[in-house]
Amino acid sequence: MRTPARILAAGATLAFAVLLTPTSALAAVPSTAELAGIAEGVLVTENAALLSGAAQSRALAGARPAVAPSAAGTLAARQAVQADRDYARRLAGAEFTSVDTSVTVVSSAGSGTRRSAEVVEETTYRYAGSAQEYQYTARHQVRYLLVDQSWRLADITALNPASEFSAAQLTRVTRIPEAVRRAEIAERITTMRASLAANRTALAAGDATKLANRRVPAADAERATPDKTERVGATSAIGRPADRPLPAPDRVAQPMGGEGPPYNYQAMVDFALFYARDNPVTYTRDTNDCTTFISWALWTGRYAEAGSEDYPAVLWNHDDYDVWYWRCNDCTPIHSYTWGGATNWNIYENNYGGRVTFMPYLDDLLISDVMQLEIDGYGETDSPDHTMMVTGRGTDGWPLLSYHSDDTEDKPFWDIISQHDGPYWAART
């Protein structure tokens, strides 16, 4: 039976109890439910860090993570990540009222006193003051150790390199002093929050205009010249200058024409929300599915494919930057590199697609726009590694983003920029 987790001094850092004396003897061969419950105890405690007060107490009721001493270093780093995220949440003025977490074991292996399992975490946060929810599905590799007839978590590893708990992120929080990390987070969050507040009316009108399937040109942005140099699009800064307010869309909205079929931005968002995590997609997923998922959302909104999809042309054009296509689930290759690669998509749209504009300011993102970012320790430092779509806006004005790998619906923007320091790319679709 679980007992309430221990919380340190008021305000509070969540603590994992390192059990040295088991409360009851467990069978030497653990069931999958037992392995899931041990991982769930750790994740429930971690996820409660983004709540406060009574909401946090309710989330922690009955949670007592059983961990081995060998897990102390990893869990301390993960706690530091969660503390940084909670610091960003408070700076953003955001509040969650509850969090629910469940864990399922996908596979397990091992013998004797050691086990390992791949587990899937399903977590839902509920936003204060609205019916909106932030949901995600995450995969973890968990190691277990039997000590004194008690199974305990010995280590946990995020299987997605874009995770808040990736090896690169855990290394970062152990290498960079907390004061330095918090100063960087504060700069990003406070700058963005001030700009969102200053331009809230124009942003709300822009969202409504796009969801009515009318184009809203990107203010202050320069469209790439079609010189086919295959450059990555211009990066986006945090914080529109106070002396350059965002124009209201009734002053900049233009009728579609000369750019192909009129795009259906509502359909893009509907696809992204429907397939973000609750429903299985109908296409063959990539291992890292973020850009493929967004390409399908854009295609659903009437972005047209480009380039020959027939043999023998696909044998030499599938890795070119001037094509963008999906062939079929059983085809080889299934799709062009530009359909599934973050940098490849960026270069295609910046040099050949002509359908998006890379904006100078992140805070100009509207619903159905695309955001990309570089992930530390993953790819090149000057090109995007991850692709997301803006699928909503919180009552506090912060954009909400949905994406794949990990499958995520309506994640708050402040949580993303608190953990990733850029560069960023904001694309007006």
Summarised one tens digit per residue, pLDDT across range 98-149 is 999 999 999 999 999 999 999 999 999 999 988 999 999 999 999 999 988 8
Instruction: Summarize the confidence of residues 173-192 as an average pLDDT.
Output: 97
Confidence of residue 64 (pLDDT cuts 50, 70, 90): confident
**Beta strands 133-147 and 407-412, pairing class:** antiparallel
pLDDT at 209 over 90: yes
pLDDT band at 162 (very low <50, low <70, confident <90, very high): confident
Q: What does the pLDDT read at residue 222?
A: 77
Check whether 36 has a pLDDT greater than 80.
yes
Look up residue 141 and give its amino acid. Answer: Q
d(CA 293, CA 339): 9
Structure token pair of residue 216:
């809203």
Using 50, 70 and 90 to split pLDDT, how confident is the model at 223? low
Q: Which CATH number describes the domain made up of 32-175? A: 3.10.450
Residue 93 scores a pLDDT above 50:
yes
Lowest-pLDDT range, 32-46, 195-209, 218-232, 385-399?
Answer: 218-232
The model's pTM is 0.88
Give the pLDDT of residue 171.
95
Among 11-15, 42-46, 299-303, 394-398, the range scoring the smallest mean pLDDT is 11-15
**What value does the mean pLDDT take over residues 418-426?**
95
Kindly report the backbone phi and psi dihedral angles of residue 380, in degrees, each rounded to the nearest multiple of 5, phi listed first.
Answer: -70, 150
Cβ-contact 293, 272 below 8 angstroms: yes
Q: Which residue has the higher pLDDT, 16 or 97?
A: 97
Distance between CA atoms of residues 76 and 74, nearest Å = 5
Give the residue from 169, 156, 161, 50 showing the smallest Cα distance to 103.
156
Collapsing DSSP to helix, strand or coil, 429 comes out as coil
With b meaning 16 or more CB within 10 Å and e meaning fewer, what string describes 228-248?
eeeebbbbbbbbbeeeeebbb
* Model confidence at 272: pLDDT above 50: yes
Is the confidence at residue 238, as pLDDT, over 80? yes
User: In which residue are the tokens 């850009």 written?
Assistant: 291
Residues 6 or more apart whose Cβ sits within 8 Å of residue 397? 196, 197, 200, 203
- 244 confidence band (pLDDT: 50, 70, 90): very high
Q: Is residue 227's pLDDT more than 70?
A: no
In the predicted structure, residue 258 carries a pLDDT above the cut 90 = no
Given a cut of 90, whether residue 379 has pLDDT beyond it is no
pLDDT at 405 (0 to 100): 87
Residue 14: pLDDT over 90 = no
Question: What is the 8-class DSSP label of residue 338?
Answer: H
What pLDDT shows up at residue 224? 63
Residue 159: per-residue pLDDT: 95
Domain ranges of the chain: 32-175, 189-428
Does residue 15 carry a pLDDT above 80?
no
Mean of pLDDT over the chain: 89
